[in-house]
Amino acid sequence: MKKFILLSALIVLTFLQKALAMDIIKLRDLYYQASTDKKASEKFAIATSSASDIEKTTLAGYSGMSWMIKANHAFNPYNKLSYFFKGKDLLNGAIEADPKNVELRFLRYCVQTNAPAFLAYSGNIISDKTVIINSYSTISDADLKKRIKEYMLNSKDCTATEKRIFQ
């Protein structure tokens, strides 16, 4: 009887742990929501600091994104800049640690193609776009591939020839 209870408890704990775990698709969904909603941005920041099932450099990149989104929702100009640059450093650091990570390159491409010119954060648009284009056909993560496709097809920074790659 004790063995049965112990086994049952282990099974229940395993399922609970998996149910509570933050997976990459949930994190991406929070990221998309956070860009337009301040409360969602707070949930996204918490998720990036507590997720344990996501690869560390990818999580660091998303953590950087949470800081940049926090800058977008901040009122004080000093805080806006401070949050943005903290996020930029985290994202760039993650890319330096894993330069072939297409997801991180895609995140930076999204930020740089939308960042105001006065932030002077546009120096990697071409290299990131090249990595995304060259790696797109080899991406096995269907959710990531779909998100990249949607963004790139609507990007004003992609030529018609480049957009054909994503169709």
Q: What is the pLDDT of residues 126-157, one digit of tens each?
A: 999 999 999 999 999 999 999 999 999 999 99
Quick: pLDDT tens for 15-36.
434 433 469 999 999 999 998 8
Q: Which of 8-12, 53-57, 82-86, 137-141 has the lowest mean pLDDT?
A: 8-12
Quick: pLDDT tens for 42-67.
999 999 988 888 999 999 999 999 99
Residue environment code for 26-63, b if the CB has 16+ CB neighbours within 10 A, otherwise e: ebbebbeebbeeeebbeebbebbeebeebeebbbbbbb
Please tell me the pTM assigned to this model.
0.84
> How much is the pLDDT for 2?
53
Percent of all residues in the chain with a pLDDT value above 70, rounded to a whole number: 87
**With 60 as the cut, is the pLDDT of residue 8 above it?**
no
Percent of all residues in the chain with a pLDDT value above 90, rounded to a whole number: 81
